[in-house]
Amino acid sequence: MLNKKYLEEWDKEYFWHPFTQMKVYREEENIIVERGEGVYVYDIYGRKFLDGVSSLWCNVHGHNHPKLNQAVIEQVHKIAHFTTLGASNVPAVVFAKNLVDITPPKLTKVFYSEDGAEAMEIAIKIAYHYWHNKGEKQKNKFVTLSEAYHGDTIGSVSVGGINIFHEKYRPLLFDVYKMPSPYLEAVKKAGREKALEYDTTKLLIEEVEEFIFKNHQEIAAFVLEAGVQGAAGILPFPKGYMKEIRRICDEYNILMIVDEVATGFGRSGSMFACEREGIEPDIMALGKGITGGYLPLAATLVTDEIFNEFLGEFGEAKHFYHGHTYTGNPLACSVAIASLEVFEEEQTLKKLQPKIKLLTDKLSEFWELEHVGDVRQYGFMAGVELVKDKKTGEPFPYGERTGFKVAKMMIERGIWVRPLGDVMVIMPPLAIKEEELEFFLDTLKECIALL
């Protein structure tokens, strides 16, 4: 048994954590998780915490789920990994068929990777390469949204738009066209109360369409998250926005790339946000909840039309020159298959609907708090924005780490959360019980009131 003190020392000495200011991390007390059960995790001292962010938005059915455990155990006794470069494996084949069966009908081909950023990197490369294979090399630009987040590889950062994450890497990135963040622009044009209405979408879309009309001949694809900008602080799109982008892409011969990494596998309230929004993208990126939060896996799905442009004789060199060592890993694909079975057996989406309503109802209570400037929800994901001055919307100074102060209070009360700056993110596993969700929301409200 490892000495717990050694673990804490080694963590701070040797482990460089993602999106973490290590000077601060090394000065504070942190949790080291040892095991999980249901929607709870336990640290090395046996302390119990509700997993308020689904282990970074990916846990679906809870930790230590017997069916998902069994899927990994059974597969590891067969084979843990073998390359899919010119070969295949049973779980990868089966899960590809499963994905085609449940995603929008136009999407018929699956390219695997290991996380959402890679899925988006692949989507970008496919879109660019597709037009080259068609002989339309002038179509090499991408349209993206301000405040977008699509991952942290160079291509996915290039189509991102969160300055504090991305600005440092500007010299490494390729240029893209950026349209305004739909939610922030909607608030500016119509106010918070009307920001998500259809009429507001009409105001926003005129500017988008005018820009596309002038530049469509060089645009390869329009890239956007599915219905909500998650990492920007849970910024939902106005109603009909995605459908209008689909219409514009069709009209001007532009591919539509939809990032479903955060919203896919139930988080939107439907299996996929595209289904909720009534649109079919040309390229869809999946990740996070794809294995129920068990193992790294991602997928990029495309249409037959796109796939067929990469077919040809070997000497034509039209094939997609991209791949990863663990592409289509059989362990990950096995647990992903099992996760879809759990969705069906446990009626996950049906049971989620009253929880979404409960979340909506409880969120209305947060408006009364002195330091809450906005409350936003999209399906089973929500953000409560903290501000210094409610009337003016003045934010707390960045260095004060107000969101982390609230998070620390939550940890002391048995809930682990990870804010996005001063936006308190509500993103528990879909399997959470209603009484657990109430405890989560009541505790968050209590902690914010203490500011």
Is 21 buried (19+), middle (13-18) or exposed (0-12) by CB count in 10 A? exposed
The candidate with the shortest Cα–Cα distance to 120, out of 237, 226, 11, 259, is 259
40-43: strand order across its sheet: 33-37, 40-43, 48-51, 415-416
219-225: strand order across its sheet: 107-113, 298-303, 283-286, 255-259, 219-225, 141-145, 177-179
What pLDDT is stored for residue 274 in this prediction?
97
* Number of other CB atoms surrounding residue 58 within 10 Å: 24
Looking up tokens 């970008």 gives: 124
CATH 3.90.1150.10 fits 31-61+347-449, yes or no: yes
For the stretch 59-72, pLDDT in tens is 999 999 999 999 99
The candidate with the shortest Cα–Cα distance to 371, out of 398, 399, 390, 392, is 390
Please give the structure tokens belonging to residue 353: 């609907």
Compute CA distances 56 → 7, 39, 231, 420, 427, whole Å: 22, 13, 11, 11, 8
419-422 own/partner pairs: CB under 8 Å, 24+ apart: 420/231, 420/232, 420/233, 420/234, 420/383, 421/164, 421/233, 422/385, 422/386, 422/387, 422/395, 422/396
Mark residue 218 as left, alpha or beta (left: phi above 0; alpha: psi -120 to 50; beta: remaining): alpha
Q: For residue 2, is pLDDT > 90?
A: no
Alpha-carbon Rg for the chain, nearest whole angstrom, is: 22
Residues in CB range of 197: below 8 A, 6 or more apart: 190, 238, 239
Work out the average pLDDT over 217-245: 98
Tell me the pLDDT band of 166, cut-offs 50, 70 and 90: confident
For the stretch 380-424, pLDDT in tens is 999 999 999 999 999 999 999 999 999 999 999 999 999 999 999
Q: For residue 46, is pLDDT > 90?
A: yes
Give the Cα separation of 218 and 132 in Å (integer). Answer: 12
Q: What is the mean pLDDT of the chain?
A: 97
Give the Cα separation of 248 and 237 in Å (integer). Answer: 16
Looking up tokens 């009360």 gives: 413
Give the Cα separation of 311 and 317 in Å (integer). Answer: 9
Tell me the pLDDT band of 445, cut-offs 50, 70 and 90: very high
CATH annotation of 70-345 = 3.40.640.10
Contact 384, 362 (CB under 8 A): no
For the stretch 188-200, pLDDT in tens is 999 999 999 999 9
For the stretch 323-365, pLDDT in tens is 999 999 999 999 999 999 999 999 999 999 999 999 999 999 9
Work out the average pLDDT over 250-274: 98
Contact 141, 176 (CB under 8 A): yes
For the stretch 69-122, pLDDT in tens is 999 999 999 999 999 999 999 999 999 999 999 999 999 999 999 999 999 999
29 Cα distance to chain centroid = 28
Contact 281, 257 (CB under 8 A): yes
- What are residue 291's phi and psi, to 5 degrees? -105, 15
What pLDDT is stored for residue 419 in this prediction?
97
Work out the average pLDDT over 277-287: 97
Looking up tokens 């595209």 gives: 274
Q: For residue 288, is pLDDT > 80?
A: yes
Q: Where are the domains of the chain?
A: 31-61+347-449, 70-345
What pLDDT is stored for residue 273 in this prediction?
98
Q: For residue 1, is pLDDT > 90?
A: no
- Percentage of residues in the chain having pLDDT higher than 70: 100
Tell me the pLDDT band of 5, cut-offs 50, 70 and 90: very high
Tell me the pLDDT band of 149, cut-offs 50, 70 and 90: very high
- Percentage of residues in the chain having pLDDT higher than 90: 98
